Amino acid sequence: MSTMVSERLLAPSRWRWWEIALWLAFLAAPVALPSHAALINEIAILALFALSLDVILGYAGIVSLGHAAFFGLGAYGAALFAKHVMPDPLLGLAVGTALGALLGAITSPMIVRGTDLTRLMVTMGVALVLLELANKFDDITGGADGLQGVVMGPLLGRFEFDLGARVASFYSLAVLFLAFLLLRRIVRSPLGVSLQALRDNRLRLMAIGLSVRGRLAAVYTLGAALAGAAGALLAQTTGFASLDVLEFHRSADVMTALIIGGTGWLWGGLVGAIAFKVLHDLLSAITPQYWTFWIGLILVLLMLVGRERLLRPRQWFRKS
């Protein structure tokens, strides 16, 4: 019996042909589409941000409306580190990731004990507090004017960040790929299976003697760390950090991307990020003032028509 369970856990970890093909396409995109390198960089950062939310929402069932708190803290941390300590991108990325994880660990006790409504209020409250602190201490953060003068050193000591964002897009895609590998391994491990069981029936998991709060705290900290990494990437690749990284629309955008792509499925974050950013780019070029109306209309149609009809390829990919 244990052998059968082990084989079932290991079987999904094998890479399928379409996963390899898609990742090769993603990694080759900056070369194939050099004029859209900046957009590719934005997509990669949003996809990493979406993965960080999906791992806590889609797999553990933790609802959040303030995920921008970790994103913004990672962005400011990486920017301040580059400006005042060392401009090395990888060290700055580590700092942003660590700050996100630290905030996640500090706030996790309030998350694991509350109801869904409590979690919504706490997560949104934390983001609003950080936003006000960043605005208040403008001598450190730059306040409403943003933190300017952030100059990054060459990546790996060799690759300078160019104005065309080609190096930035490769950098962000590489970090996204590593994060995807990590999460793929985690969600298909016994820990990941227990998280999904917790999401579906917490009482049953408690009845068999597994720690619910410990698992929730661990996955929440992991999601916060990845969100901090996404924020650090944004600050490093743009050379700028402002109050915008902590505002509510950041949390709303990543939630929208997950709604489009689907939760509880790692590829959902990537698909949602691509769809959201491409739609944003196209619609804002056509109607700059009303692009949010069309995004909202698409979401309404998605809910009315039914995800299972529009996302049938997703089911096929899962079985293949």
- Between helix 212-238 and helix 89-112 the angle, nearest 10°, is 150
- Specify whether the CB–CB gap between 168 and 37 falls below 8 A: yes
CA distance 191 to 185: 10
pLDDT number for residue 202 = 64
**Domains in the chain: boundaries:** 2-319
Say which residues have a Cβ less than 8 Å from residue 55's Cβ, sequence separation at least 6. 183, 186, 187, 219, 222, 223, 226
Positive or negative: CA dihedral 106, 173, 182, 186: positive
Burial 66-94 (b: 16+ CB within 10 A, else e): bbbbbbbbbbbbbbbbbbeeebbbeebbb
CA distance 59 to 194: 9
Phi, psi dihedral angles at 155 (to 5 degrees): -70, 130
pLDDT string in tens for the chain (320-residue length): 445 445 545 555 678 888 888 888 888 888 888 888 888 999 999 999 999 999 988 888 888 888 899 999 999 999 999 888 888 899 999 999 999 999 999 988 888 776 777 788 888 888 899 989 988 888 888 888 888 778 888 888 788 888 778 888 999 999 999 999 999 888 887 776 777 766 666 666 666 666 677 778 888 999 999 999 999 999 998 888 888 889 888 888 888 888 888 877 888 889 888 988 888 888 877 877 777 777 777 777 777 766 555 555 444 444 44
pLDDT number for residue 264 = 78
pLDDT number for residue 4 = 47
pLDDT number for residue 210 = 67
- Under DSSP, the state recorded for 247 is S
Q: Which of 45, 28, 31, 37 is nearest to 164 (CA)?
A: 37
Token readout for 193 is: 């299976």
pLDDT number for residue 319 = 45
CA distance 75 to 233: 7
pTM: 0.87
pLDDT number for residue 99 = 95
